[in-house]
Amino acid sequence: MSEYTVIGKPALRKDSHDKVTGSAQFCADITLTGMLHGAVLRSKVPHGIIKSIDVSAAKEAEGVRAVVTGEEVPYRLGRSIMDQTFLAIDKVRHEGEPIALVAADTLEQAYAAVRMIKVDIEPLPAVNDVLEAMKPESALVHDRLEDYWHVDTIRPVNGTNIYDHFTLRKGDVDKAFAEADVIVENEYDCAILHHAAIENHLAIAKVDGSGKITVWSPAQSPYYIRGELSRALKVPENKIRVIVPPIGGGFGGKLEARAEQLAIALAMKTHGRPVKVAFSREEDFLAGTVRAGVHFKMRTAARKDGKILAVESTNWWDSGAYSTISPTVTLKANVILAGPYEVDNVKMDGYCVATNKQLGTAQRGFGVAEASYAHEQQMDAVAKALGMDPYELRMKNVMVDGCKGHTGEKMFAVGIKECLKEAAEGLGWEGHPTSWITEDGKIRGRGLGTFMKFTGTPSYTSATIKLNFDGSAVVSYSTTELGQGVGIVIPQIVAEELGIPLELISTVQVDTDHTPLDKTTTSSRATYHLGNATIKAAEDARRQICQWVAFKWKTPVERIEFKKGGIIVQLDEQGKPTGKQARMDELAKNGLIKNGEPILGYGSYETTNIWHKPDPETYQTERLTAMWFFGANAAEVEIDPDTAKIRVVKVVAAHDIGKTLNPLGCLQQVEGGVIMGIGNTLLEEFIHRDGYLMNGNMVDFKIPTSMDSDVEIEMRLIESSPHPEGPYGAKGIGEPAMCATQSAVASAVAHALGVPVVHVPIKGEHILAACRKRLEEANDR
Amino acid sequence: MFKKEINIMVNNEHYVREVAVNRTLLEFLREDLGLTGAKEGCNEGECGACTVLVDGKPVNSCLMLAVEADGSYILTIEGLAKGDLLHPLQQAFIDEGAVQCGFCTPGMIMTAKAILDEYGNPSEKEIRKLMEGNLCRCTGYTRVIKTVKKTAEALAAK
Ligand code: FES
Ligand code: FES
């Protein structure tokens, strides 16, 4: 029998009923009294100098209540570098950058007025490519990076397009390469792509008479947005309130403020009337955020017996016109770019680079999916060079407990070996070829992808549990529900800890004025961090309950015991049960806490203490993160040699989850993540010409449809390496399935065709020649 | 803008309304009638989040003008349940975990309803094909397709 009653059992989400009936009110569904509609004038060119803006006609247009241009709102945003103003001032740096705003009684009027604004822009040459951007003769996206404030953990290079240069140094790479039996050198590219949540960016803002700003927005991380806005506007945080309606998908795309600042800029001029600014799909593509493109140069050194001696890389991340959180993406990818393998010598140089394109930022995985693709292609190339089985090579090198990680720290709770074993087993790897031709002439291939990732540290979160007299409970926190299922896992924990039935536990809409402090909803961190905070809140509630019951039963509190499953027992002086007891799931009936001292449990979790600041040059440290997590996917693909169309047949996803809290939630994450990963690998790509986006719509930017999802997905949750500090041993599952899908599919294609995959997404035109060659080879035999 | 009177049934209620001739059915439903269940994801007929049934057929309501729906019977997600009794598809979407962020869900369910009405008990493959116009970024479709198939089977068995 399981030691838990609720934890580890599948539980249904609490918000589904609302969502299947259409009654869930997303941000777009909210209409406030007196609400005005905002529209945005956006730059048509990717780079240029604003010579003049004439808004006089727009101001006089019918229904118009406010018009705003850049100079009126010279506030700067930027988590890493404060390089972004609300609206362009003097210069535009990407196609779609907001230049001016209009609020009017109706949306039609707002758009009509926007069309009356005359803006004269002198185009400048656009920086279209990261490698081009690195050249000394390149045009500069930001003339003077040094003028902007930046966090002290990054190193912008003045007079260049470099937002940050990240470095990691471990061991002696040169020596290792000199001693190597084989050296494998390759370059890889990942295209820019869009998160493409089905809900676009939007926000409603209201500024009341006292100057208090209220924002309704599907912000993934409302406290992060509040902090950003507070710093930009120089307004104290208690003067900004962010209310989060249900979110129509995030995936990292809703981390940064996009529509929020525009709605606020207008609302500051509408005398208390709220203003809604909603992006169209086209605006979302142009002016939301994207997953940065990246170009990797990779070198790997290995010994004859398969031991990886060294990994070295220089890589350039196309972070677009403003830096946002992209230096963190560069960092996270570079820290793990040698893969979940024990490697004594590592040298990484990651450049976070400005171009005149969309803002490259976090996407589910924070750069790890891209990095995993690069390190796994390298592993396959090494295996080929050595004539070794790709699985064996990986198994020989995987990290184990106690080994030294890439950051020099001693690793623990390392589940990669088990994951890799299970993933390969799920596909039937042993003794099976990695490339073969089917009877109907299709090319099949099998591949492996592993990853490791760390959760952002230091970090913090908190939760409260309020007990109602009828025995129901309300748990509040500010980690947002993006569809990932935090809204069910946390009630499960409360139910487990307090013995209150799951159906009597509800959650609260996230609202920075009411729900407790939280850093972000990113990094697969919700279960781990908030889970720990919730356990502590439950502990606090239990303590209060015991106090109250002691008073009621006229018993010293030491003789009240709160037993697992929520049974409160009175003990005699010898510590034996007296027979008097009450159950938490019967509070409505037994009235135990009715009209008593209100019970409000509080718990927090933060990871400052366990974090050791890494050395800025080498990035070596004693402990980098609260949690490392690992995973491996194995994939089988089938390629039609006539059309070069790639079909993913099967994916086995084995993830080092530590402890499964809600298997159904995990399955949802894995299935969704695998298909999204397949989309990233085979379909999704922003195409730019001279900084202009050529495919900013859902027809030309393809995401997977139900037709692309006919993939056999097998999930294997690995619990052999529970996290000693995680709730019940749990780690995260939000990103893993994504992180290793791209690499596994690319590995399968590379094996199928016998050539490395050097560009993702893998398009037919890249592999058509290789398909022919593969068939010819087969026929020659 | 030029206006026209339309005469329309929505979820069993009869409306006679003046609408601008360029107003889409989606705008009419969401803004004029306050039925915000159908969502806008693209406004160009690509995502299916705005799917409603017009005389029983699934339609991207962002592509249809309200005046074109004059004289039609419209069913939106709000009209699917019978009072408190959810439609079997709605119940199955909950029970099978086919909902994540839920933004695509109303459109998905309406398309699925049209499929079941028209085809009875189609194969998984057919369902996949017929639901191609409804995009979802969260679920990877796996659970959605299974849910529709399971519901179709259950209804066919009745
Ligand atoms: S909003 Fe109608 S199809 Fe996307
Ligand atoms: S559930 Fe989020 S888009 Fe489908």
Claim to verify: residue B102 and residue B120 sit in the same structural domain: yes
Supply the angle between the helices A486-498 and A531-552 in degrees, to the nearest 10.
Answer: 30
CATH number, position B50 = 3.10.20.30
Number of the ligand closest to the Cα of A697: 1
- Tell me the CA–centroid distance for residue A524 and ligand 2, in Å: 18
Please enumerate in sequence order all residues whose Cβ is within 8 A of that of A623, keeping only pairs 6 or more positions apart, or say none: A409, A610, A611, A612
Work out the minimum CA distance from A30 to partner chain B, whole angstroms.
Answer: 9
- Tell me the CA–centroid distance for residue A296 and ligand 1, in Å: 37
Give A523's pLDDT tier (boundaries 50, 70, 90).
low
Nearest CA in chain B to A19: B102
How many CB atoms sit inside 10 A of residue B88's CB?
A: 16
Number of domains, chain B: 2
- Residues (pLDDT < 50) of chain B are none
Task: Scan for tokens 């790997």, then name that residue.
Answer: A300
Determine contact: A202 vs chain B, CB below 8 A.
Answer: no
Contacts of B139 in chain A (CB under 8 A): 668, 671-672, 675
The 3-state secondary structure of A612-628, one letter per residue: CCCCCCCCCCCCCCCCE
Please enumerate in sequence order all residues whose Cβ is within 8 A of that of A651, keeping only pairs 6 or more positions apart, or say none: A633, A634, A635, A636, A674, A678, A711, A712, A713, A714, A741, A744, A745
Burial class (CB in 10 A: 0-12, 13-18, 19+), A464: buried
> What are the C-alpha distances in Å from A136 to residues A131, A159, A160, A187, A230?
11, 9, 7, 22, 37
Kindly report the pTM of this predicted structure: 0.96
Claim to verify: residue B95 and residue B38 sit in the same structural domain: no
- Give the neighbor-by-neighbor strand order of the sheet with B57-60: B13-20, B3-10, B73-75, B51-54, B57-60
Mean pLDDT of A136-161: 95
Check CB contact under 8 Å for A16 and B128: no
pLDDT in the model for residue A66: 98
CATH number, position B120 = 1.10.150.120
Alpha carbons A386 and A305: distance in angstroms, whole number: 8
A290-457+614-780: CATH, from 3.40.50.720, 3.30.70.270, 3.30.365.10, 3.40.50.1110: 3.30.365.10
Claim to verify: residue B93 and residue B66 sit in the same structural domain: no
Claim to verify: residue B56 and residue B123 sit in the same structural domain: no
| pLDDT tens per residue across span A74-120 | 999 999 999 999 999 999 999 999 999 999 999 999 999 999 999 99
**A582 bridge partner residues:** A568
Alpha carbons A348 and A352: distance in angstroms, whole number: 13
Claim to verify: residue B101 and residue B55 sit in the same structural domain: no
Claim to verify: residue B54 and residue B36 sit in the same structural domain: yes
Give A483's pLDDT tier (boundaries 50, 70, 90).
low
Give A485's pLDDT tier (boundaries 50, 70, 90).
confident
Alpha carbons B158 and B152: distance in angstroms, whole number: 10
Checking if the pLDDT of A2 tops 80, the result is: no
Mean pLDDT of A23-50: 98
Please give the full DSSP string across A50-88, using - where no structure is assigned.
EEEEE-HHHHHSTTEEEEEEGGG---EE-SSB--EESS-
| A632-691 residues touching B, CB cutoff 8 A | 664, 667-668, 671-676
Among A83-92, A235-244, A307-316, A516-525, the range scoring the smallest mean pLDDT is: A516-525
Q: Which of B24, B53, B79 is where one domain is finished?
A: B79
Claim to verify: residue B63 and residue B110 sit in the same structural domain: no
pLDDT in the model for residue B81: 97
Give A365's pLDDT tier (boundaries 50, 70, 90).
confident
Using CB atoms, which residue from B80, B137, B145 is nearest to A249? B137
Work out the minimum CA distance from B155 to partner chain A, whole angstroms.
Answer: 19
Claim to verify: residue B54 and residue B72 sit in the same structural domain: yes
The 3-state secondary structure of A583-620, one letter per residue: EHHHHHHHCCCCCCCCCEEEEEEECCCCCCCCCCCCCC
Q: Which of B79, B106, B125 is where one domain is finished?
A: B79
Claim to verify: residue B74 and residue B130 sit in the same structural domain: no
The 3-state secondary structure of A528-549, one letter per residue: HHHHHHHHHHHHHHHHHHHHHH
Mean pLDDT of A335-348: 98
Please give the full DSSP string across chain B, using - where no structure is assigned.
--EEEEEEEETTEEEEEEEETT-BHHHIIIIIS----S--S-SSSSS-TTEEEETTEEEETTTSBGGGGTT-EEE-GGGTSBTTB--HHHHHHHHTT--SS-SSHHHHHHHHHHHHHHHSS--HHHHHHHTTTS--SSS-SHHHHHHHHHHHHHHHH-
Range of the domain at B106: 88-157
| A411-450 residues touching B, CB cutoff 8 A | none
Please give the full DSSP string across A124-149, using - where no structure is assigned.
------HHHHHSTTSPPSSTTGGGS-
pLDDT in the model for residue A735: 80
Average pLDDT, chain A: 95
Among A104-108, A145-149, A377-381, the range scoring the smallest mean pLDDT is: A145-149
Mean pLDDT of A306-334: 97
- Tell me the CA–centroid distance for residue B66 and ligand 1, in Å: 15
Number of the ligand closest to the Cα of A248: 2
Using CB atoms, which residue from A17, A664, A673 is nearest to B97? A664
Mean pLDDT of A610-617: 94
R_g (Cα) of chain B, nearest Å:
16
- Tell me the CA–centroid distance for residue A281 and ligand 1, in Å: 10
Please enumerate in sequence order all residues whose Cβ is within 8 A of that of A295, keeping only pairs 6 or more positions apart, or say none: A130, A131, A187, A188, A189, A315, A316, A318
Burial class (CB in 10 A: 0-12, 13-18, 19+), A493: buried
Claim to verify: residue B73 and residue B126 sit in the same structural domain: no
Determine contact: B74 vs chain A, CB below 8 A.
Answer: no
pLDDT in the model for residue A362: 82
Is the shortest distance between the CB of B136 and ligand 2 below 6 Å? yes
Residue A493: φ, ψ to 5°:
-65, -40
pLDDT in the model for residue B158: 82
Work out the minimum CA distance from B73 to partner chain A, whole angstroms.
Answer: 19
pLDDT in the model for residue A521: 72
Q: How many CA atoms lie less than 13 Å away from A290 in the CB half-sphere?
A: 33
The CATH architecture that domain A16-22+460-606 belongs to is 2-Layer Sandwich (3.30)
Q: Which of B40, B59, B79 is where one domain is finished?
A: B79
- Tell me the CA–centroid distance for residue B103 and ligand 2, in Å: 5
- Which part of chain A is CATH 3.30.365.10? 16-22+460-606, 290-457+614-780
Work out the minimum CA distance from B116 to partner chain A, whole angstroms.
Answer: 17
Claim to verify: residue B108 and residue B147 sit in the same structural domain: yes
What proportion of chain A, given as a percentage, has pLDDT over 70?
A: 99
**Confidence check on the interface: ipTM exceeds 0.85, yes or no:** yes
Specify the fold of A31-124+198-249+254-287: Aldehyde Oxidoreductase; domain 3 (3.90.1170)
